[in-house]
Amino acid sequence: MSIRSLARRLAWAAALALPLAASAQQAFTTHLLNLRAGPAQDFPIVATLPQGAEVMIQGCTSDYAWCDVQTPNALRGWVYAQYLSHPFQGSQAPVNSMGATIGIPILTFALGAYWANHYRDRPWYHNQSQWDRPYYPHRPPNRPPPHVRPPHPPQPDFRPPRPDNRPPHMRPQPDNRPPHVRPQPDNRPPHVRPQPDNRPPHAGRPPSGGNRPDHNREGQNRPQRPGHPSEGRTGDRF
């Protein structure tokens, strides 16, 4: 290779690197952080960066959730932007919320070209089909559904009372008797209350009606004593 050809290639490489270097932004990791081969948690891990490690941000996804960074030892990969801070106006600004203000450019991730430039020597380089998919920006958390009134509970089967069409004299009348005259409930214990006589009439139940002895007529059948005023007058009483 001639010196002129080598000079041309070096000049071309420098020209390509100028826009990238001009747009790179300094940042620092705020936690122990994995450097991955793409903007998602399931991409292969390229390296693990300690807390406080310095990186140069080359660009971020459109939602500033993942950023393409380069380490001082020339490793390239993607890190979660929430764990990157950028010096801004005398303080450290989180990249995921201040990326647009800081002026970090937006990048579109193309797995084939990116891996061909940085990961040809990695064991998972030839398994690109496992991760080759478009990147979808993170969406804001779903809003709670609008308030929906619960359905009304089922109403009981209420039926209005039927009108009483009976004549007034046949309708039940209120008991207007004084309380001491109204029949009172029998609050005695069951074993004290009088029990109904369920015996049949021939089983020793006292006879009823005309079969009972009439004690008021006993005097009519008594023999009269001599000299008694009622002698000779059957049925007379004092």
What domains appear along the chain, each with residue ranges and CATH number? 24-128 (2.30.30.40)
Q: Examine the pLDDT at 139 and tell me if it is beyond 90.
A: no
Q: Are 49 and 29 in contact (CB under 8 A)?
A: yes
Where is average pLDDT lowest: 36-40, 176-180, 232-236? 232-236
* Least reliable range by pLDDT among 74-88, 98-112, 212-226: 212-226
pLDDT at residue 49 above 50?
yes
Q: Are 102 and 93 in contact (CB under 8 A)?
A: yes
Is the pLDDT assigned to residue 87 strictly greater than 90?
no
The rounded percent of the chain whose pLDDT value lies above 90 is: 37
Concatenating the DSSP letter of every residue in 121-175 gives TSTTGGGGGGT-----PPPPPPPPPPP-PPPPPPPP---PPPP--S-GGGSPPP-
Pairwise pLDDT comparison (65 vs 2), residue with the higher score:
65
pLDDT tier for residue 190 given thresholds of 50, 70 and 90: confident
**Span of 5-19, 86-100, 130-144 with lowest mean pLDDT:** 5-19
What is the average per-residue pLDDT within 105-120?
94
Distance CA 166, CA 151 (A): 42
Mean pLDDT of 92-97: 88
Q: Between residues 153 and 159, which one has the greater pLDDT?
A: 159
For residue 121, name the pLDDT band (cuts at 50, 70, 90): very high
Average pLDDT over residues 12-40: 72
Greater confidence (221 vs 85) lies with: 85
Mean pLDDT of the chain: 75
d(CA 212, CA 13): 140
Query: What is the rounded distance in angstroms from the CA atom of residue 77 to the CA atom of residue 107?
Result: 13
DSSP state string for 33-60 = EEEESSSSTTSPEEEEEPTT-EEEEEEE
